[in-house]
Amino acid sequence: MASFCDKLEKEESIDNAFAMNLASKDRAGPKANHPQGAFFGNQSGTAEWGSGKAVVDCGKEENMTSDGVKEQLGVLQREVREFFERDIDAVHRDIFLHGKWRKGQGGVRANFEFKDLSCLMLPQVNLSGAFLTGVNLLKTELRGADLSQAVLVGADLEGADLRDANLTNADLRGANLNRAWLTGAILTRADFSARTVNQSPDPATVASPSPGTSATLVEANLERAILCQAKLCGCDLSGAEFVDADLSGADLTGSMMLGADLSGANLKGSVFQGAVMDFLSLDPAVLEMISQIGGAIEGQCRELTTSAFVEAIISHERWIDSSGKNGKQIDFDRIRLPSVKMTRRNLAGAHLRRCHIDGGEWVDVRLGMADLSYSNLSGLILRNGDLRGICLRRSVLIGADLSGANIEPHPLVGDRVWPSNLEGAILRDSNLENAKFGGSILRRVDFRGCSFHGTSMKGADIEGARR
C-alpha cells in the first residue's frame, strides 16, 4: 500500500542516483584506445582486464514539461493530498473505543484492515487483539505498543519503530518487517510463517520466500528481542540482527538467514532444518551451536562465467554513461563471481548482494554507492578503489586488500552525503593501510589482525568494533 512516505523515499532515491552519476564524473580515469578496455588472459589462468573508459556522461537534461512528467506529478499531488486528508481524529477515536472493548466497558474492537496508518506517532498504543490485516504501518512510531494477539497478516511494518513492543501471539504471516526496529520487543509464540513451507534439504532448491506468503524481516533489528517458540518457518531473515535475542524453541525451518547475526543468541531447542546460512560469517561460538543442533545448510550460489561477468560490467558502464538509457545495471543476488583482474572500471551503483567473489584484483575500481551486503569478498584486492557510500553490511572480507581505498561518505546534492556502511562486516587479517574510513558506519566490525598504518577513521562510528 503506497503512502506519502513511499513517494518521498522514491524521489530521494532517484535524486541520490543522479547525484551519484554526477559525483562519479570527477573520478574519471584516463581514456584508453579501446572505449571499453582490453581483455586478455594471463599465465595464471585468471582473467585480466586493462584500463578502459571510465568517464560518466550524465546526458542532456530531460524536458521537465513533458506530458509524462506532468502525469506523474499529478499522481503524486493526489496521493499527497490523500495522505494529509486522512482522518487522524477518527484513528484515535477507534483506539479509544478499542480500549473500552478490551476492558469490557462496551466500545468496539478496532478494525484497521488495509488502512493507511503510515508515519503516525503511536507510542505506547494498546491494540491488543485488533484487526490489522494488510494495514500500512510503514515507518510508524510504535515504541512500547501492545500488539499482542493482533491480526497483522500481510501488514506493512517496514521501518517501523517497534522497540520494546509486545507482539506475543501476534499473527504476522506474510507481514513485511524489513528494516523494522524490534530491539527488546516481545514476540513469544508470534507466527511469522507461511501456510506452506519448502522444507527441501537440497540447497539448490531452496529459494527466497515468495512475497506475500512468509513474513520478511530483512535487516530487521531484533537485538535482545524475545522470540521464544516463535514460528519463523520460511521467513527471509537476511541480515537480521538477533544479537542477544532469545530464540529458544523457535522454529526457523526453511528460513533464509544469509548475513543474519546470531551473536549471543539463545538457540536452545530451536529448529533450523533447511535454514540457509553463510557459515563463514557466523561467530565461531554460534557456528558450533548451529552444528550441534543440525539441519542448517550452507547457502549455494549460481556460478557466473568469466565472459558473462565481463559482458555484465561493460553493459553496466554503458548504463552509467547513458544515465540509464542504454546498457543494464548490474543486479546480482546469490551469484558466484569468477576471479578477474581489472583496472579503472566503473561499477558505481552495482548491486552484488549475497554474492561470493573468488578473489581477483579490482585495482582503482569505482564502487561508489554499490551494494555488496552479505557478500563474501575474502582475499579480494580492492587497492586504491573509490568505495565512497558503499554498503558492505555483514560482508566477509577476510584477508582482503583495501589499502589506499576511499571508503568515506559519498557526496550528494548540496551538503548531503551518503555514508559507507560496513556494520557487522568481518575484515580480519585485511590490509587497510592508508585507507580512508572517515565518517563511515563501522559498528561491530571485526578488525582483528588488520594492518592500520596510515589508516584514517576520523568521525567514523566504531561502536562495538573489535580490533
Q: What is the pLDDT of residues 381-439, one digit of tens each?
A: 999 999 999 999 989 999 999 999 999 999 998 889 999 999 989 999 999 999 999 99
Residue 300 pLDDT:
77
pLDDT mean over 281-310: 88
The full DSSP string for 204-251 is: GG--PPPTTTS-B-TT-B-TT-B-TT-B-TT-B-TT-B-TT-B-TT-B
H helix runs in 210-358, sequence order: 284-293, 306-321
User: Regarding beta strands 39-41 and 47-49, do their DSSP bridges make them parallel or antiparallel, or are they unpaired?
Assistant: antiparallel
Q: Is residue 356 part of a domain?
A: yes
Nine-digit cell string for 9: 523515499
Residue 358 pLDDT:
85
Q: Is residue 443 part of a domain?
A: no
Q: Report the number of distinct structural domains present in the chain.
A: 1
| Total-model pTM | 0.68
Q: Which domain holds residue 45?
A: 4-61+303-418
Nine-digit cell string for 114: 488495509
Choose among 325, 314, 309, 312: nearest CA to 36. Answer: 314
Confidence tier at 284 by pLDDT (50, 70, 90): confident
> pLDDT by residue (tens digit) across 299-342?
778 899 999 999 999 999 999 999 999 999 999 998 999 999 99
Q: Is residue 336 part of a domain?
A: yes
Residue 126 pLDDT:
97
Q: Is residue 410 part of a domain?
A: yes
Q: How far apart are CA 148 and CA 399, in angstroms?
A: 46
Q: Is residue 298 part of a domain?
A: no
User: Regarding beta strands 356-357 and 335-337, do their DSSP bridges make them parallel or antiparallel, or are they unpaired?
Assistant: parallel
Query: E strands of 65-105, at which residues?
Result: none
Q: Is residue 21 part of a domain?
A: yes
Q: Is residue 396 part of a domain?
A: yes
| pLDDT above 80 for 15 | no
Q: Is residue 101 part of a domain?
A: no
Residue 127 pLDDT:
97
> pLDDT by residue (tens digit) across 358-380?
889 999 999 999 999 989 999 99
